[in-house]
């Protein structure tokens, strides 16, 4: 019995098994005349998968459902392929990246795109959470791919097949160039692997999404018509329809988004945007213009200054990996952009490189929501700057202006969060 895959023509989960079959040298045929919404509701299909979901693979030993399980099955049918690498640790890493792809990439792309297409209820806060989680996952993937062409080893494995298929809908439907440009190694990886002949055969030419789709109304299932009922002897008097305004009042009003506690602090004389503008626009005499302007603006009652030092500098042995760590940290700090300004210095001519930073936060302490939601914060030791100490104040000055040498060492790079 030939292997038969029950799935529609353009289904990224179906592509996983089909591409795996191409690499493994296994014959898999698509079920004839498959019609989504009809075939998968038939009694014959429901015997194979009671949930009625696709894809389902028919095998001589019985059906297999769930796309990753199908891809695994196909990949193992022939032992003379490299889809699981060449060692036990390769096998573990392939499995690791497949799980990562499902839980961190596919799940969050789905939570972002499906509500916008009307397949799920659209909730703005849920979308914010999905996008933030996706960015965190893509940043982790970006760091790995900075020094790796493929996820495992030096050729395509099952991990790459699953990852590319899961990224496919994201690139095609919602992840615009402006979004993915934050993750250049992921971009390079996606287009490199997607253009491999055995993969491109299924991911036919497509363009990256040019815009995030507008929110569509949730698609509601059609309601069955009520059976005819005998007319009651006495019908209750129908209530006149209420005016639209009155009816709207009866509906539960959407709850306003809770205010950030920092917005409830007493007004400050320091306007953060004014400082960021001064910093960006000062091209000469930086110490006399920008630094002096900073201290003229600074409000120690409304803001606080903090030094941070990376706890694991001995691990910073590769320059571009160290730079990627810092870039990822700054991306994940985007949630605090309205309330913070930061400078991150990467220090040293040779490894291990030191990472030190200066942060200006609204309020007397590091905001709790930043500590709770940005996991990088725990990777640093934090110390509040005492500006009554002239040495610490001068250290603030030097970090703002990228002074070199800094504490006796050259700067590899300096990054600003503003």
The pLDDT confidence band at residue 377, using thresholds 50, 70 and 90, is very high
The verdict on pTM exceeding 0.75 is no
Same fold across 88-200 and 268-417: no
Give the contacts of 416 (CB within 8 A, at least 6 positions apart).
279, 342, 343, 344
In angstroms, rounded to a whole number, what is the distance separating the alpha carbons of residues 25 and 17? 12
Residue 280 confidence (pLDDT)? 92
Lowest-pLDDT range of 107-121, 137-151, 236-250: 236-250
Residue 244 confidence (pLDDT)? 45
- Model confidence at 268: pLDDT above 80: yes
- Give the architecture (CATH level 2) of 88-200: Up-down Bundle (1.20)
The pLDDT confidence band at residue 223, using thresholds 50, 70 and 90, is very low
209 in Cβ contact with 176 (< 8 Å): yes
Residue 257 confidence (pLDDT)? 59
Q: CA 346 → CA 229, 268, 394, 401, distances in Å?
A: 78, 32, 19, 14
- Scanning the structure block, which residue is given the tokens 């009671």? 50
- Model confidence at 254: pLDDT above 60: no
Q: Please compute the mean of the pLDDT values over residues 284-300 and round it to a whole number.
A: 95
Lowest-pLDDT range of 17-21, 112-116, 236-240, 278-282: 236-240
Dihedral angle over CA of 412, 320, 350, 379, nearest 10: 80
- Model confidence at 203: pLDDT above 50: yes
Helices 124-145 and 107-116: crossing angle in degrees, nearest 10, is 140
Among residues 16, 24, 54, 10, the alpha carbon closest in space to that of 159 is found at: 16
- Model confidence at 219: pLDDT above 70: no
Lowest-pLDDT range of 3-17, 186-200, 253-267: 253-267
Looking at every residue in the chain, the average pLDDT score rounds to 89
- DSSP one-letter string for 18-62: HHHHHHHT--EEEPTT--TTTGGGSHHHHHH-TT--S-EEEETTE
Share of the chain above pLDDT 70, in %: 90
Bigger pLDDT: 80 vs 305: 305
In angstroms, rounded to a whole number, what is the distance separating the alpha carbons of residues 296 and 361? 17
Q: Please compute the mean of the pLDDT values over residues 230-249 and round it to a whole number.
A: 48
Bigger pLDDT: 363 vs 232: 363
The pLDDT confidence band at residue 324, using thresholds 50, 70 and 90, is confident
The CATH fold assigned to 3-76 is: Glutaredoxin (3.40.30)
User: How do 303-310 and 340-347 pair as beta strands?
Assistant: unpaired
Q: Where are the domains of the chain?
A: 3-76, 88-200, 268-417
Q: Please compute the mean of the pLDDT values over residues 257-269 and round it to a whole number.
A: 87
The pLDDT confidence band at residue 239, using thresholds 50, 70 and 90, is low
Burial class (CB in 10 A: 0-12, 13-18, 19+), 133: middle
- Which uninterrupted H or E stretch holds 268? none
396 in Cβ contact with 379 (< 8 Å): no
Degrees to nearest 5, angle at CA 372 with 368 and 374 = 110
Radius of gyration of the chain, Cα coordinates, nearest whole angstrom: 28
- Over residues 22-72, the pLDDT tens digits come to 999 999 999 999 999 899 999 999 999 999 999 999 999 999 999 999 999
Q: Please compute the mean of the pLDDT values over residues 316-331 and round it to a whole number.
A: 87
Q: Please compute the mean of the pLDDT values over residues 194-212 and round it to a whole number.
A: 91
Q: Tell me, what DSSP letter sits at residue 236?
A: P
What's the CATH number of domain 268-417, 3.40.50.300, 1.20.1250.20, 3.30.70.1010, 3.20.10.10?
3.30.70.1010
* 270 HSE (CA, 13 A, CB side): 24
């Amino acid at each position: 019995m030939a292997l038969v895959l029950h799935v529609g023509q353009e289904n990224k989960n179906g592509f996983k098994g089909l591409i795996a079959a191409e690499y493994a040298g296994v014959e898999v045929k698509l079920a004839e005349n498959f019609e989504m919404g009809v075939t998968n509701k038939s009694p014959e299909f429901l015997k194979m998968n009671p949930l009625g979901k696709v894809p389902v693979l028919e095998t001589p030993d019985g059906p297999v459902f769930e796309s990753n399980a199908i891809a695994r099955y196909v990949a193992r049918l022939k032992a003379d392929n490299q889809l699981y690498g060449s060692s036990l640790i390769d096998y573990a890493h392939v499995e690791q990246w497949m799980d990562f792809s499902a839980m961190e990439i596919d799940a969050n792309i789905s939570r972002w795109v499906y509500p916008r297409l009307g397949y799920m209820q659209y909730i703005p806060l849920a979308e914010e959470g999905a996008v933030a989680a996706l960015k965190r996952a893509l940043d982790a993937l970006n760091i790995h791919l900075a020094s790796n062409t493929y996820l495992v080893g030096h050729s395509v494995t099952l991990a790459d097949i699953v990852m590319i298929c899961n990224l496919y809908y994201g690139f095609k439907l919602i992840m615009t160039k402006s979004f993915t440009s934050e993750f250049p190694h992921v971009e390079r990886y996606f287009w490199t692997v997607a253009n491999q002949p055995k993969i491109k055969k299924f991911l036919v030419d497509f363009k990256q999404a040019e815009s995030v789709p507008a929110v569509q109304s949730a698609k509601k299932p059609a309601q069955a018509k009520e059976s005819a009922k005998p007319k009651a002897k006495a019908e209750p008097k129908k209530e006149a329809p209420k005016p639209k305004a009155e009816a709207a009042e009866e509906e539960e009003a959407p709850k306003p988004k809770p205010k950030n506690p920092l917005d409830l602090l007493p007004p400050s004389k320091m306007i953060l945007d004014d400082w960021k503008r001064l910093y960006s626009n000062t091209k000469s005499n930086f110490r006399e213009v920008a630094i002096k302007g900073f201290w003229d603006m600074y409000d120690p009652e409304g803001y606080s200054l903090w030094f941070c030092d990376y706890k694991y500098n001995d691990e910073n042995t590769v320059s571009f990996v160290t730079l990627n760590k810092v870039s990822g940290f700054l991306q994940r700090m985007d949630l605090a952009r309205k309330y913070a300004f930061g400078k991150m210095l990467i220090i040293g001519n040779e490894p291990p490189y030191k990472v030190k930073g200066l942060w200006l936060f609204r309020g007397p302490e590091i905001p709790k929501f930043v500590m709770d939601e940005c996991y990088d914060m725990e990777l640093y030791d934090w110390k509040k700057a005492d500006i009554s100490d002239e040495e610490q104040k001068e250290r603030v000055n030097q970090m703002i202006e990228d002074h070199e040498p800094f504490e006796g060492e050259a700067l590899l790079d300096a990054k600003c969060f503003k």
